[in-house]
Amino acid sequence: MELPANKPQTRAPGRARQAILSFDDLTWAAAQAREMFSPQDQLALALLADPELDRVLICDRPRSAPIKLAKDLIDRPLKFNSSLRDGHWQPLRWRRREPVSIAALERVYRAYDRRLRRVAERHGMERPAVITGQPFVAAFAPLEWAGPVTLFAVDDLSAHPDYQRWRSSLLEAYRRVARDGRRLCAVSEAIVERVSPQGPAAVVPNGVDAEMWLAPGAPPAWFDRLPGPRLFYVGTVDSRIDTEALRSVVPEDVTALEGAFEGAWHRRRRKRSSSTVTSNVGCVGGRSRPASSVSVS
């Protein structure tokens, strides 16, 4: 792409002009449904809005084709607005879960690597930077055709109770990320210590975009109508939250609001009722959260 003669060149020298982002165990539709609140979601939006990037490819986690078809028939997901510049890949396979053994993971992600390369080439990419939230992609996909590879780690999955089946595989993935000199961007120093990267590393504390909190604006109208006092929790409600303890500390006259429900805990909550935690719990996500938290304070 040629710039006009009178327009200064502002692109940082050596910076990648094309980028691939692969979610950890989520999809673009799921990110939209939770109002793009997480660090990975915000990173996807930042890449799509970056004027210095010529090509962007957003990749969902691999999903089971039969399960995706069944779910899409029940609840149609929001579509990605694809263009010549921005692309979206939804890799499908038969199996639902990741394999556990190292040999099987190597086999699965070598195949994933070949498929991703073909998709990137069809999208007009040449040696794009790859950013992935999935340690298995960073460790077991060769990605020799790509540019720099960065693991964007928002959690130490080896310590997460929902991933204990893959703990040894995740630890090996972290070891390979370090051995191969992959780049690491993490939301805490604890994750950096776990991975012990040999390549470049950076920490974005808690994955927080400070600009979202500079001018929070007005909270949602429904939020303003809630009675006080209010208890506001900023974070994700998953299997690590002690719901019994939460119920015990939230009095009946307090309106409790929290972050997005995720994973198996989210599915259990939907199957039961909204009173799984307490009867007066709501959910605030995305850019409504800073405004709502200011309102509480």
Residue-wise pLDDT for 88-99, tens only, equals 999 998 888 899
Distance CA 276, CA 243 (A): 8
Cis? peptide before 51, omega within 30° of 0: no
User: Tell me, what's the pLDDT at 268?
Assistant: 39
Least confident piece of the model among 61-65, 133-137, 238-242, 281-285: 281-285
Kindly indicate the confidence band of residue 184, based on its pLDDT and cuts at 50, 70 and 90: very high
* 73 and 109 housed in the same domain: yes
150, 184 contact by CB (below 8 A): yes
Whether 274 has a pLDDT exceeding 60, the answer reads no
CATH of residue 126 = 3.40.50
Residue 230 phi, psi dihedral angles, 5° rounding: -125, 145
Task: Out of 207, 240, 268, pick the residue that ends a domain.
Answer: 207
Mean of the per-residue pLDDT values of the chain? 80
Query: Does 168 map to a domain?
Result: yes
| Average pLDDT of the segment spanning 61-69 | 87
pLDDT at residue 283 tops 80: no
Distances in Å between the alpha carbon of 163 and those of 99, 107, 157, 270? Answer: 12, 20, 6, 21
Number of structural domains, the chain? 2
pLDDT at 113: 98
**Are 197 and 87 in a shared domain?**
yes
The residue ranking higher by pLDDT, 26 or 11, is 26
Task: Choose one of 190, 207, 224: the last residue of a domain.
Answer: 207
- At 16, the pLDDT band (50, 70, 90 cuts) reads confident
> Residue holding tokens 């997901």?
77
The full DSSP string for the chain is: -PPPTTS---SPTT--SEEEEE-SS--HHHHHHTTT-SHHHHHHHHHHH-TT-SEEEEEPPPEEHHHHHHHHHHSPPPPP---SSEEEE--EES-SSPP-SHHHHHHHHHHHHHHHHHHHHHTT-SS-EEEES-HHHHHH---TTSS-EEEEESS-GGG-GGGGGGHHHHHHHHHHHHHTT-EEEESSHHHHHHH--SS-EEE-GGG--GGGGTS--PPPHHHHTSPSSEEE--S-BSTTS-HHHHHHHS-TT-EEEE--B-HHHHHHHHHS-GGGT-TTEEE--TTHHHHHHHHH-
Q: Quick one: pLDDT at residue 295? A: 54
**Contact between residue 258 and residue 233 where contact means Cβ atoms under 8 Å apart:** yes
d(C-alpha 137, C-alpha 151), whole Å: 9
Alpha-carbon distance of 72 to 79, in angstroms, equals 11
Residue length of the chain:
297
- Do residues 53 and 137 both lie within one domain? yes
Residues 116 and 258 in one domain: no
| In a domain? residue 282 | yes
- Rounded distance, CA 149 to CA 139, Å? 10
* Predicted structure pTM score: 0.76
Q: Is the pLDDT of residue 213 over 50?
A: yes
**Residue numbers of the domain that contains 59:** 18-207
**Does the residue 81 lie in any domain?**
yes
Average pLDDT over residues 138-155: 97
For residue 193, is pLDDT > 70? yes
- Residues 221 and 275 grouped into a single domain: yes
**267 and 175 belong to one structural domain:** no
